[in-house]
Amino acid sequence: MAPITVNEQGYYGEFGGAFIPEMLHPNVEELRQKYLDLSSQPDFQREFQHLLRDYVGRPTPLYLAKRLSEYYGTTIYLKREDLCHTGAHKINNTIGQILLAKRLGKTRIIAETGAGQHGVATATVCALMGIQCIVYMGEVDIKRQAPNVARMRMLGAEVRPATSGSKTLKDATNEAIRDWINNPVDTHYIIGSVVGPHPYPDMVARFQSVISEEIMWQLEEHTGKKYPDAVIACVGGGSNAAGAFYHYLNEEKVRLIAVEAAGEGIHSGKSAATSVLGTKGVIHGSRTLLMQTEDGQIVEPHSISAGLDYPGIGPMHAHLISTGRAEAISITDEEALEAAVLVSRREGIIPALETAHAFAALKYMQYKPSDILVFCLSGRGDKDLDTYMKHL
Amino acid sequence: MNRIQRLFQGKNRNILNIYFTAGYPNLQDTETIILNLEKAGADLVEVGMPYSDPLADGPTIQESGTQALQNGMTLPLLFEQLEVVRQKTNIPLVMMGYFNQVMQYGEQKFFEKAAAVGIDGLILPDLPLYEYESKYRKIVEELGLSISFLISPQTEAARVKKVDELSNGFIYMVSSSSITGAKSEISSTQIDYFERINAMQLKNPRLIGFGISSHATYRQACQYANGAIIGSAFIKAVGGSTDVAASTRDFVKGILTA
């Protein structure tokens, strides 16, 4: 099998590319030409590694979850991205992109956010660097993730509601893209997931790849083996999954399991199960799998988790799933809530609703007692307590 | 030679191109709007294929698209309507939409159908130049369709030349760095940009779009290019109208005369 990587035009197999209006071309092209070079410079790497260690708190632990392992009759490790500063993996990427933005001479940052974790992570690095920050967030998400809205405001960011369409992550992304079209010179758009036009999917995956880089050496310390039997992560756009899979992409003995949101049921009409319901098309600048009508209109998704409430999936994941390299499992709102309670009570860790989907996948997975499973515990659940309390 | 190329051969100044969203304000307004635009003196009509997520468009066009979709507009229906309209007029027609719609219809099938119903040109703002050149240029040109790519004030000279090479009808000159409907006056920076492009001696005529909304801005655009494209302002004019035919004619007259 050919190594899984992105080509010059930004394609993973048939997925990817840069389907953008001309007004975005100069910005996206500048990034494409410079992201690899700038991010590999020694001064960039020094600053990036320093901030990941002393500011974010990396490496995050790889924790043997004994009581969960016992419950499921196998060996489960948790990659504790919930312990990152701001409470989720999102900050790995925003640190990388803010350092790039500075080197590109940008003075204004925009971002989209669903659950608010990426918005908080962006507001955080903007405060750290003293750069203006505007976060677009769907009106629906502003209501259901109020604590994160407050955090962004506390950090000095302006939160602008996206009021079109389903008023969720897709629409926040549309608004951020429109802002970038209107502000092409001074602004950098920090996309929070492995979506968007090339080079974003590859760039974000690289910044998040620290997750699997650490898993490799940490797992070896724990078990003497670098390679688990499976890596399991939730997928909305797919950034924590991209980071957790990254260094295992070409190691076929490691199963990659992408867990998406089935909402109220895959065929309920209220779902975000893109791997099942999606067809090939273009969303937010890349050719990928997305939920759409026969006429090519994008369908409004549903998930109880704002971070997974997205009608598409990053092009790398579309490629991994359609070639069979990754397995996709769809989890309903109800199953995710049950898993959140289980993990909270057996490990003393309250996971984010997004992450809870990954844990719920265990009941649909084939695994052996001798297996080693690594879960990416992508974020903590403080922001979801309101939702949890309603369902407890 | 298609109707767009013939138009510019006979008239290369003061071209008025009006955009409307098909299916808005009412599902069956396509014919009324096109025929009345022609009657009132528009030279070219851009038929917008309503889309759920129009990234390059501002709120006016997005909302008209949402309404059109709610009214039941689909591509197959639009093609049916356009086939009928084409029997009644010779005005050049351009279809404007997002590439995902074309992909879902089937690229080849879409281009063939457009040519068959009498469409003359295409504007697909999120279709990248290299995708077009490597995959679709041959069939589009064989079918005799025009295609117009966009340039903005930030487009580099080499890329403007590439756009000129691949376009064959007119170039869509985005007046400023913005989404549609955003600005209302033409600034001196914009004039510098228009003059810079004029000095390049491109083979394609240029139409200026985005932010053209009145007789004054139309006249200004016509000073620096072969004509202008108006979208959002027209959508607003027919939006609340109870007589779409009259509103359409009044709008065009208002643009053409002081």
- Sorted by where each starts, the structural domains of chain A and their CATH numbers stand as 12-51+90-204 (3.40.50.1100), 57-88+208-391 (3.40.50.1100)
> At residue B125, does pLDDT exceed 60?
yes
Q: Is A270 a catalytic residue?
A: no
Residue B197 has pLDDT above 70, yes or no: yes
pLDDT given for residue A2 in this prediction: 67
* Low-confidence winner among B53-62, B117-126, B128-137 (lowest mean pLDDT): B53-62
DSSP A361: G
Residue-level pLDDT at B175: 87
**pLDDT level of residue B181 (50, 70, 90 thresholds):** low
Q: Mark whether A39 is an active-site residue.
A: no
pLDDT at residue A165, rounded to an integer: 80
How far apart CA A370 and CA A73 sit, in angstroms, is: 9
pLDDT digits (tens, 9 = 90+) for B209-238: 988 999 999 999 999 999 999 999 999 999
What is the C-alpha to C-alpha distance for residues A164 and A168, in angstroms, rounded to an integer? 9
Give the sheet arrangement for strand A187-189, strand by strand.
A158-162, A132-138, A108-113, A187-189
Contact between chains at A296 and B104 (C-beta distance less than 8 A):
yes
Is the CB of B104 inside 8 Å of chain A's CB atoms?
A: yes
Closest Cα partner for B57 from B24, B103, B31? B24
**pLDDT digit string (tens) for A339-381?**
999 999 999 999 999 999 999 999 999 999 999 999 999 999 9
At residue B180, the pLDDT reads 67
Residue A184 confidence (pLDDT): 87
Residues 6+ apart with CB under 8 A from B80: none
Residue A52 gets which letter from DSSP? Answer: I
Using one digit for the tens of pLDDT, what is the confidence trace for A379-392?
Answer: 999 999 999 999 98
Interface predicted TM-score (ipTM) of this complex, two decimals: 0.93
Average pLDDT, chain A: 96
CA distance A317 to A242: 8
CB–CB of A296 and B58 under 8 A?
Answer: no
Q: Residue A182: which of B52, B66, B182 has the nearest Cβ?
A: B182
Of A168 and A322, the structure prediction assigns the larger pLDDT to A322
Q: How far apart are CA B180 and CA B188, in angstroms?
A: 19
Which residue in A231, A206, A194 sits closest to A92, CA to CA? A206
Q: How far apart are CA A30 and CA B202, in angstroms?
A: 25
Which residue of B177, B183, B189, B193 is the best one to mutate when testing the A interface, meaning the one whose CB has the most A CBs within 10 A?
B177
Give the burial class of B112: count Cβ atoms within 10 A of its Cβ; 0-12 exposed, 13-18 middle, 19 or more buried. middle
Tell me the domains of chain B and their CATH numbers.
Answer: 13-252 (3.20.20.70)
Mean pLDDT of chain B: 95
**Secondary structure letter of residue B181 according to DSSP:** T
**Would you tell me how many other CB atoms lie within 10 Å of the CB of residue A40?**
10
Q: Please report, as a single letter, which amino acid is at residue A276.
A: V
Which residue, among A45, A128, A90, A59, has the nearest Cα to A208 in the 3D structure? A90
- pLDDT category, A196, cuts 50, 70, 90? very high
A99-114 per-position pLDDT tens digit: 999 999 999 999 999 9
User: pLDDT exceeding 70 applies to what percent of chain B?
Assistant: 97
